[in-house]
Chains A and B, each alone.
Chain A
Amino acid sequence: DTGVSQDPRHKITKRGQNVTFRCDPISEHNRLYWYRQTLGQGPEFLTYFQNEAQLEKSRLLSDRFSAERPKGSFSTLEIQRTEQGDSAMYLCASSPPGLGETQYFGPGTRLLVL
């Protein structure tokens, strides 16, 4: 059973650079979520997709952030002009459709902006 995978696992970048993260969900899951987790906090919701449609975005997702899921399978999260405040763990999760379904999380991508 293949779980949720994320790539890269770690990313160090300089302020002002662009970065892109990839998430591959569990294959039969049509819902995909992105969360951000900073040190000492629980994950915070960023955005979610049902198939290829992006159905909700958090206020945390500034104009510098964009997420896509072009064919309803893998997803990418891009951060443009990174800032030091973007340093965090970026978690991806997927779930089947339906109320109360479990979200299965990937290992995360840890971003450090210098």
Chain B
Amino acid sequence: AQSVTQPDIHITVSEGASLELRCNYSYGATPYLFWYVQSPGQGLQLLLKYFSGDTLVQGIKGFEAEFKRSQSSFNLRKPSVHWSDAAEYFCAVGATEYGNKLVFGAGTILRVKS
């Protein structure tokens, strides 16, 4: 069965510092991988996705993620965090056998110190 692990429940970074959020997945085939962001009381917004091809994926708001098959990882990065990035971030894997249902990790809450 597919699964996603986000090892960090909370991360606090200073504004302007770099950020890396970790994501490990378990899936038998080539995965489709996604990062979503959720602000309090809101739905989820797609930041970026990996479908195939270049393993370094660029997304919105200056985020990028790198797919590493050997490590089963899809970590999210941003070189300089802004206060408005404070939110909860979810990594997900798409299960193609079931109409692309998404299996989500438990999320990482990002706090930004000014």
- A-side interface residues toward B, CB under 8 Å? 4, 31, 33, 35, 40-45, 48, 50, 55-56, 91, 93, 95, 99-108, 110
Contact = CB atoms under 8 A, between A and B. Distances in A.
Nearest to A40: B106
Interface string B82-114: 000000001010101011111111110000000
11 contacts: A41-B106, A41-B107, A42-B4, A45-B102, A45-B103, A50-B99, A56-B99, A95-B100, A99-B32, A100-B96, A101-B100
A91 B42 CA distance: 10
Contact of B94 (A40, A55, A100, A108): A100
Chain B, interface size: which category? 20 to 34
Given A48-B99, A50-B99, A99-B32, 16 more contacts: A31-B100, A33-B101, A42-B4, A42-B105, A45-B102, A45-B103, A48-B101, A56-B98, A93-B102, A95-B100, A100-B94, A101-B100, A102-B49, A103-B102, A105-B43, A105-B44
B51 interface: yes
A40 B9 CA distance: 9
A108 B36 CA distance: 15
A93 to B, nearest CB: 8
B25 interface: no
B49 A100 contact: yes
Nearest to B41: A110
A42 to B, nearest CB: 3
